[in-house]
Structure 1
Amino acid sequence: MMPAAVETFERSLENLPVTFERVKSGAFQSAVESCIDPPAVGVPLPFDEVSLEESPVTLDPTSEDILEARTGVTPGGPSIAEYGTIVVTSAFDGSGYTSLFPKTHVVVVAASEIVETIDDALKILVEEIDDGLTSAYLTTGPSATADMGAPVYGAHGPESLHVIILGDC
């Protein structure tokens, strides 16, 4: 990860209808809790230094939990600096549903997984596909449509997106 990629990513996010913050691992718990509108669901995070275990997030949610949730918390990455785009994988852990059904999606990305271009991200995804990844989507802000005039958020997914950038850069 290059600090420049993180800065470019943040500048890209500033131009989108999202909120974001960069936090060190010690501040993660309060950052994630400040974004949650209960009830919240999530999937385990793949980062050694942080966890959702102590947060008010239901891990390993049932279908009913997901349908009732107002907030979904998932990991994301790689993230594409030039667009402010985040790859969210959809695995058997429920991360796809957890990120798409609740009104608010909180996505946690590692600063070390922010890359400059979509080509850089695709190189990483090819490796993950070779390792068994079968589904992922790219998100650049909340779900939106403008086919009838002004943008409407939440038409096909979350109405709001909050990005937590985890890292010490």
Structure 2
Amino acid sequence: MNANTSTETIREFQRSLSQLNASSTVVPSDEFESELADRIEIPAVGAELPFDGLSLSDAPVTLDPSPAQLREAVTGVTGSRLGIASLGTVAVESRPEGDEFVALYPEQHVVVVRERDIRADLSDAFGWIRSEFEAGRQSFILATGPSSTGDMGELVQGVHGPEHVHIVIVTDNE
């Protein structure tokens, strides 16, 4: 376990996700590929993960998808370098790899986040966001659970984005 992320922070993140009707699993990095394969419904698209040591190259996803592939995809897979435990929020970066489109078009969004990238609360996350902005990375979607809207009365999920969200939390093998 990373010194910056406690077991309780991971539990809080999972509780927050559950309250938002988002699911999650915690897996060591050596079980990541198997877990990811279990979470993907085909056809699937993905944006290559922004971490060393974790990749979508062997996953059943189309990287760099065309607009038609995005429309047809059931599952979109992206990585996140920030999770906020108290909110159940992840940051999806706007990158040339197409993270935003992959996160928003398919009905199911699978997000990969490393345990070391989960912050306890928004206050802790602001330092990370500030350093990202200073490094020139200034466009993120802060996604909290499945897409939902109450514009027309009753709350409806999946209108402006994914109807289902699953977070794969990858621990370090220690």
With the length of structure 2 as denominator, give the TM-score of the two structures.
0.91
Distance in 2 between residues matched to 1:31 and 1:149, nearest whole Å: 37
Distance in 1 between residues matched to 2:57 and 2:168, nearest whole Å: 17
Extract structure 1 runs of 4+ deviating beyond 6 A.
none
Q: Which residue does 2:123 correspond to in 1? A: 119
Q: Which residue does 1:63 correspond to in 2? A: 67
Q: Which residue does 1:51 correspond to in 2? A: 55
- 2:125 is equivalent to residue 156 of structure 1: no
Distance in 2 between residues matched to 1:77 and 1:31, nearest whole Å: 19
Q: Which residue does 2:136 correspond to in 1? A: 132
Determine if contact 1:85/1:139 at 8 Å carries over to the other structure: yes
Identity across the alignment (%): 41
Distance in 2 between residues matched to 1:90 and 1:11, nearest whole Å: 27
Distance in 1 between residues matched to 2:54 and 2:163, nearest whole Å: 26
Determine if contact 2:90/2:144 at 8 Å carries over to the other structure: yes
Q: Which residue does 2:93 correspond to in 1? A: 89
Match of 1:80 among 84, 98, 107: 84
Structure 2 residues without counterparts, runs of 5 or longer: none
- Aligned pairs, number: 169
Q: Which residue does 1:31 correspond to in 2? A: 35
Distance 1:91 1:107, change over 3 A: same
Distance in 2 between residues matched to 1:152 and 1:11, nearest whole Å: 22
Determine if contact 2:50/2:80 at 8 Å carries over to the other structure: no
SS, match of residue 45 in structure 2: strand
Distance in 1 between residues matched to 2:69 and 2:151, nearest whole Å: 32
TM-superposed deviation, 1:140? 1.0
Structure 1 residues without counterparts, runs of 5 or longer: none
Match of 1:143 among 144, 147, 153: 147
Match of 2:5 among 2, 23, 30: 2
Which whole-Å deviations, capped at 9, do the CAs of 1:8-37 have from their partners, x for residues lacking one? 111211212111100111111111111111
Distance in 2 between residues matched to 1:44 and 1:114, nearest whole Å: 20
TM-superposed deviation, 1:63? 2.1
With the length of structure 1 as denominator, give the TM-score of the two structures.
0.93
Which whole-Å deviations, capped at 9, do the CAs of 1:112-157 have from their partners, x for residues lacking one? 0000111211211111111111311111101001233332111101
Q: Which amino acid aligns with 1:47?
A: F
| Alpha-carbon RMSD | 1.4
Distance in 1 between residues matched to 2:160 and 2:18, nearest whole Å: 22
